[in-house]
Structure 1
Amino acid sequence: MKNLIFTIVLISICSLTYAQEQEPTEPETFQMEWEGEKVTMQKYFIVFLKKGPNRDQPEEERQQIQEKHLAYLGKLFKEGVLNINGPTGDNGEISGISVYSTATLEEAVELAEGDPAVQAGRLVVEAHSWWVAKGSSVK
């Protein structure tokens, strides 16, 4: 009987440990009150698309990369993992900003690095977590 109880406890501990080690599948959230209203805060991931080391492609190739870049980001937007995206307008180091709604930073980086402009070396990715009220919009 003691062996049975020990085995059950051991299996339970192993199951809990395994469950804790699995990657989350949904974005992290928490509830808070702001100005008397309940708000759901969500962890999003903000990606800065910076100028990459390979920006000297011929014009025709640059245009093809740009078309693929926009198509890729449009697909992610339609899938609901890219919430907001756009270029900067100051010709600085950061060429664009994207906000991803993924469960992990690693997932956002993987998606951002799948961008044809990143793969071509025209852009590089810098990503950070960012807590925002869920469903926020730019006004």
Structure 2
Amino acid sequence: MLSFHPTPLQSIAGKILPPKVRSGAPAELKRYWMVLLKKGPVRNQDTALAAKIQRGHMDNINRLSAAGKLVVAGPFENDETLRGIFIMDCKDSLEVVSLVDKDPAVVSGRLIFEVKPWWTVKNCMFK
């Protein structure tokens, strides 16, 4: 008798993929934009200024989220170079750059960023 043991990826997919994808129906893909936030060249701000920049960075995250442009944001743990990610819902990379360029942490030089197109099944986000 054969038995089926799902791989970890299959187990995860069964939990996060919409029912129509799990059933084998064709999936509709959607492009998002992955923004890799990296340690910038200007990190010598005093404690008060660094805290002000961080507050502005968090305010910007909240503003982009409220506008429907930022879907996911968060820091990485224990990585000195790669500091965090944004997953953004924008029409193109130019829109992404124009929005991220205004972030106080980017303006100050504390962060730099790289933009990559990222595809996933439409309406498939963490719940």
Name the TM tier (shorter chain). Answer: 0.7 to 0.9
Matched, 1:68 2:56: yes
Partner of residue 43 from structure 1, selected from 24, 28, 31: 31
Q: Which residues of structure 2 form unaligned runs of 5+?
A: 1-20
Partner of residue 70 from structure 2, selected from 66, 73, 82: 82
Look up the equivalent residue of 2:82 and give its one-letter code.
I
Structure 1 CA distance, aligned partners of 2:26 and 2:66? 28
Match of 1:19 in 2: none
Bigger Rg, structure 1 or 2: 1
Deviations 1:71-104 (A, max 9, x none): 0111000110100000111233110100010010
Deviation at 1:133, TM superposition (A): 1.0
Q: Which protein, 1 or 2, shows the higher relative CO under an 8 Å CA cutoff with sep ≥ 6?
A: 2
Match of 1:135 in 2: 123
Deviation at 1:45, TM superposition (A): 0.6
Match of 2:84 in 1: 96
Which runs of at least 4 in structure 1 moved beyond 6 Å after TM superposition? none
RMSD: 1.7
Structure 2 CA distance, aligned partners of 1:116 and 1:96? 15
TM-score by length of 1: 0.72
Which structure dedicates a bigger proportion of its chain to strand?
Answer: 1
TM-score by length of 2: 0.79
Look up the equivalent residue of 1:79 and give its one-letter code.
A
**Identity, % of aligned pairs?**
33
Matched, 1:105 2:93: yes
